Amino acid sequence: MDPARLIPSAEAIPSPWGWFEALLWLTFALHLLFMNLAVGSAVVALAGRLGHRQEELARELGHRLPTFLALTVNFGVAPLLFVQVVYGQFLYTSSVLMAGWWLAVIGLVILGYYASYVHDAKFASAPGLSRLALALALGLLAAVGFLFANNMTLMLRPEAWTAYFHSPGGGLLNLSDPTMWPRAAHFLLAAPAVAGLYAAIIGQKKRRTDWTACGLAWFTRVTMLQIVVGGWLLFSLPKNVMLGFMGGSGPATALLALGVLAGLAALLAGIQKKPTPAAWLTFAAIVLMAGARAQVRLLTLAPVFTPASLPVTGEAGSLAMFLVALAAGLALIGWMLKTYAKTAGRG
């Protein structure tokens, strides 16, 4: 069977696809930032608690973990919707093929969210339960990331969809995809690096040199490991996609090169014990790598689909309303985060 015959027909979109791709890029980068803070805070806090060397830092990060997780979920809704708008026929199919696992994501996130609250609430009164809750929260969040990696890679492989005819129960996973494991590792490893930078900045504000040193150690060591995993991910891509990032596609090559340079500059700033410049450079790297991820999707699907082929209804009003709401929402959230961040300097 020709796998391309399994791809459903595309639905019309209200405005040119470039608008939705740009919004997907923006909102996905913001989602990645808070996801890294949430998962990374759990990693750094758990390591501190198990080693009994950074209990106070673990308490600080654990106290902020529920907030980071809530922001991760909220900022994750928009990019998921934009992926559905532009690539709906692929994402809906892969979601149905792994429906049992995909629906479980909701329960896993809820349980992880409550476990993060238990960790914070029982930190001093029941330390054993608190540590167990934190480990549970981290495990559940890692499982969610693993399932997302499965779905977002399965949607790019129509040739793998034929496995449904042998296993129609909605339990497919994309474990045979050579890009799945390095992609999951690449995303999850970024988390403790970003959280380490956050811990270092808190340490500066609170004049806790031990927190700053600990956070920078997490950032620099994990970032060095990320260089290796990033290379693994690049060379695991299909040949035509990999070559696109090596000069075959201008946008893909530029985004990858700029992302790598930003990451290396952030690493250098971390080694020089400059957490604030490192944080800004890391955010730039996250934005650029989110764009590179979009190029992976475009190049992988190019043989069977291009978003430029989507029919456009020309109903620009809905997009305009969304842009106004997005600008107002981001301004409000920015004010809320600025107010919330002031508490990092107290105590």
The whole-chain average pLDDT of the chain stands at 92
Beta bridge partners of 312: 13
**CA geometry: angle at 221 spanning 217 and 226, to 5°?**
145
**CA geometry: angle at 152 spanning 149 and 153, to 5°?**
85
* CA-to-CA dists, residue 99 to 68, 76, 148, angstroms: 27, 19, 12
pLDDT tens profile 156-210 = 999 999 998 888 888 999 999 999 999 999 989 999 999 999 999 999 999 999 9
CA–CA distance, 123 with 58 (Å, rounded to integer): 10
Res 338: pLDDT: 80
Res 325: pLDDT: 87
pLDDT tens profile 196-213 = 999 999 999 999 999 999
pLDDT under 70 in the chain at which residues?
1, 343-347
Res 347: pLDDT: 46
CB atoms within 10 A of CB 272: 11
Dihedral, CA atoms, 155, 156, 157, 162, nearest 10 degrees? 30
Its pTM surpasses 0.85: yes
Q: Give 3-306's CATH code, choosing from 1.10.3720.10, 3.10.180.10, 1.10.3980.10, 1.20.1630.10.
A: 1.20.1630.10
CA–CA distance, 313 with 311 (Å, rounded to integer): 7
Query: CB of 119 within 8 A of CB of 76?
Result: no
Res 346: pLDDT: 52
Determine the 3-state secondary structure of 274 from DSSP: coil
Res 255: pLDDT: 97
User: How far does Cα 339 stand from its chain's mean position?
Assistant: 24
